[in-house]
Amino acid sequence: MTHDALKNIKDLEHRISRVETITSHVFEDKSLALQAITHPSAVEGDSHLSYERLEFLGDSIVGFAVGLEGYRRFPDIDEGILTKMRIAVVNGNFLSESAVEKGLQDCVIFGTSELSAGSRGMHSALEDVFEAITAALFLDGGMAVATAWVLGCLGDCINPEIAADKSNPKSLLQEKVQADGGSVSYDIVSVQGPSHSPSFVAEVSVNEVVIAQGVGASKKAAEKAAAQAALDEVNRGA
């Protein structure tokens, strides 16, 4: 196993074993489990060794699993509520809280720079690790394995009541735009700062036109900030 920044093989094996226990899945490809729990600071930002690429894939898989479960579980609610419900469930707070409940904070491999920063960035890291582990499960075991993990962690949160959360600017923007038949999309346009404490910049587009930007310590936080900025812009023009 090539992982030059990490030398303690027994520690790595212990962490991988812990991930397997938490996810109830024995990885055929152990390197996927290792990559899913490796913070960029531990490998000098190399996205092929850290969880960054897996997190990208896992974000889509988590959203799909939650959306499909909502569609199946609540056949009588419309697509607007389904959309808001999915957005609310896959936000960073639920993902990081679930990661803590599962004990994933003890599995994450940080570099020296991040360790010296204490708890800073842990929330964002756990959000990313949750999504990265989801992707690793998908690649190693298939969609059924990944979906079982997601629903085992987030299934209890999937309900129409959560869609009524008026504190979520992404849900509010989606509702406002969809009422006029429009669409909303988000893009991460840049990442600033060191790998152990990044700052993400997100753009939000309505009907494929960029209308606002937001900055946050995680991708979802940046998207949330962008959505709030877009809402402010929309409300000023109302």
- State whether the Cα torsion 185-218-170-210 is positive or negative: negative
Residues 30 and 220: their CA atoms lie apart, in Å, by: 28
**Candidate list 59, 69, 140, 223, residue with the active-site label:** 59
Secondary structure (3-state) at 116? coil
Residues 88 and 171: their CA atoms lie apart, in Å, by: 7
* Chain mean position to CA 79: 22
CA angle, 194 then 36 then 126, to 5°: 65
- State whether the Cα torsion 220-221-222-223 is positive or negative: positive
**Candidate list 131, 140, 175, 223, residue with the active-site label:** 131
Q: Is 131 one of the annotated active-site residues of the chain?
A: yes
Q: Is 59 one of the annotated active-site residues of the chain?
A: yes
Q: What kind and span of H or E run contains 184?
A: strand 184-192
What dihedral do alpha carbons 34, 40, 46, 50 form, nearest 10°?
A: 20
41 touches 111 (CB < 8 A): yes
Query: What residues are labeled active site?
Result: 59, 131
